Chain A
Amino acid sequence: MSIAVSPLEVFRAKGVPHRRMEDWKYSDLRSAIDEKSVEHISGACIRTDAPAPIESLGAGDVMPEWLANRIESLGRVGSMEAAARAFAGGVLALRVPAGEQVDLPLHIDYMSAGHSHIVLSVEARASLTLLETYRARGGGLQNTSLSIFLEEGARLTHIRQASFASELIAVETVSVVQAKDSRYRVHLMEGGAKLSRVEFNIALKGEGAEADLSGISVLGDHAHADITTHIDHAVPNTISRQLFKKVAGDYSRAIYQGKITVREGAVGSDSRQTAKALLLSARAEADLKPELEILADDVKCAHGAAIGDLDADSLFYLRSRGIADDEAHTLLINAFLQEVVDHIEDDAVRSSAVEFVEAGLARAMIVAP
């Protein structure tokens, strides 16, 4: 029996993460903010649009047993996740009852910077789309802990759309625990921030569970966008898919770190991981670090990472057909991202991804003199 350690104690023991920690190697949070400042920041203002029959539990309510149990079951938490829980001023808990197919999206709109602690439980065979959007454009810290529980056969499509916020420090930890035959799909649209890091901890704990993570990062200016993923194939016959494409212009920095663990005995695990970055300027930087830890036999794991710039042959080919230089650039960048956009199943979400790319490229393609 372990003695429960409070989030506050965890945060105070671990402190703000820094670049000498492997997971934060490319995002030195400590150089951007110190412990005292993290503690002084209060809860974020969140507007939640939760269509029926989603049950929601606000900050002032007594935490029911199901929620307490689940939060405890997550086990070890990172320091920023702990900070979010300690300083959010309460938890926003949402539950989709068993068997419910919710057609309208659950929209979580972060109206301001600050800490947030959110728990979402999608119960057996229920399905839901979760949309996260962010409005804070000034300075400060946006720090979110989002814990998701998918019960047997549950389905969740998660869309996270974060436009560029030049002064903001944005940190989010998404923990997903998946039971048998559950399906989690996430589409990220990242515009970056002064420092932005989103971390996914996916635990595939039931056979037949499937996680599919994809995202586009379109960065310009001094944008920094770090996507870090940990996928844990804990039991036999689980599937994970990852597809990330990043376009980095001007002085921006695109980061992907992805660790896949296939535990002992997790036979039949099937994992695929692709991360590619396109650099549009000599000052932009991309760091891609795929990592595999395989402790079981009879598994399928494929991974690939590549960083490049626009192909000169392709550019000349398009220009020789009358397509002007900047239009040819736009065409090729869109072509590079197309695979990820096509991966989005919902038409409306796909359209918003196209708009997101268009808006992002307008910034990413600006070339400083």
Chain B
Amino acid sequence: MLEIQNLHVSVGGKEILKGLTLHVNAGEVHAIMGPNGSGKSTLSYALAGRPGYEITEGRVYYKDEDLTTLAPEERSAKGVFLALQYPVEIPGVTTMNFLKTALNAQRRARGESEFDAVSILRLVRGKATALNVPEEMLKRALNVGFSGGEKKRLEILQMALFEPSLAILDETDSGLDIDALKLVAEGVNTLRAPNRAMLVITHYQRLLTYIVPDRVHVLAGGRIVAEGGKELAHELEAKGYAGIIKDAA
């Protein structure tokens, strides 16, 4: 599903990722853990195609296609989804209108027919209830005045709606209390599927108690320095990043 080889990414002329290699198969959930400044968000932005994240070396293949040449909207239409750590507030655009515009834009790009307003409303309502996203939230301006938990729930709602093949969750646990965390994790778990891969990026082991990964990778200094099964997350919790990074060196 996703094959990253020797990826080097620079932001504003400064190299952040320095030769990252990663393989994720369909149906798998991989966790990327790392201390602050290790390049976690840079990886997620580079995969989503954010302007300013310059790939200087290496390759990124998604479903056997070079991802790096595609615009962010093209990646989205092909099934790449990034749940942001800090979802953006956009006054003047209602949440419902945004969801409709985005879903139809993706469908149009894939040559599929667009949904009418009624079908979309029905679709969104069905998925929103499961994630405890009230109707009233959909009528408000996108993310404006939403709590941290509401913003993250809306990200997961988008994921449920867009049904991506590759979902990247960037620090989805940050700023969530335990109830919100469980709700979000449950939403993610129901989306686990044999034809879908997920990359869960997090600083803390906490989230991985609820979203149990198939593989765990430790990112430090722009490279993967350790890899293992779900037990690696527990080891990290016990030893701390410094311990693991030292062991790897």
Contact = CB atoms under 8 A, between A and B. Distances in A.
A322 B92 contact: no
A323 B101 contact: yes
A153 B74 CA distance: 58
A180 to B, nearest CB: 37
A291 interface: no
A323 B91 contact: no
Interface string B73-92: 10111000010100110111
Contacts of B103: 322
Contact of B93 (A316, A320, A322, A331): A331
Nearest to A319: B72
A316 B82 CA distance: 11
A272 to B, nearest CB: 18
Interface in A320-336: 320-325, 327-328, 331-332, 334-336
A335 B73 CA distance: 20
B101 A319 contact: no
A318 B102 contact: yes
Nearest to B103: A322
B77 A322 contact: yes
B72 A320 contact: yes
A335 B90 contact: yes
Contacts of A5: none
Contact of A331 (B48, B77, B101): B101
Interface residues of A, number: 24
Contacts of B101: 323, 327, 331
B105 A323 contact: yes
Contact of B105 (A311, A316, A327): A327
Given A322-B102, A322-B109, A334-B92, A317 B87 contact: yes
A352 interface: no
B90 A314 contact: yes
A319 B84 CA distance: 13
B202 interface: no
Nearest to A333: B92
A352 B128 CA distance: 34
B152 to A, nearest CB: 14
Nearest to B90: A314
Interface residues on B, range: 20 to 34
A323 B75 CA distance: 11
Interface in A53-107: none
Interface majority SS on B: helix, strand, loop or mixed? helix
A334 B48 CA distance: 25
Given A320-B82, A322-B76, A339 B102 contact: no
Interface in B139-192: 158, 162
Given A316-B72, A319-B76, A320-B82, A335 B51 contact: no
Interface hub of B71, B92, B93, B105 (most chain A Cβ within 10 A): B92
B50 interface: yes
A347 interface: no
Nearest to A323: B105
A339 B91 CA distance: 9
Contacts of B92: 334-339
A40 to B, nearest CB: 47
B90 A312 contact: no
Nearest to B52: A312
Contacts of A314: 88, 90
Interface in B97-147: 98, 101-103, 105-106, 109
Interface of B: 48-51, 71-73, 75-77, 82, 84, 87-88, 90-93, 98, 101-103, 105-106, 109, 158, 162
The 10 closest A-B pairs by CB, nearest first: A335-B92, A338-B92, A322-B76, A322-B106, A321-B102, A319-B72, A317-B88, A322-B105, A335-B93, A319-B73
Given A322-B77, A334-B93, 8 more contacts: A313-B88, A319-B49, A319-B72, A319-B76, A320-B73, A322-B105, A323-B73, A324-B71
5 contacts: A314-B90, A319-B71, A322-B102, A334-B93, A335-B91
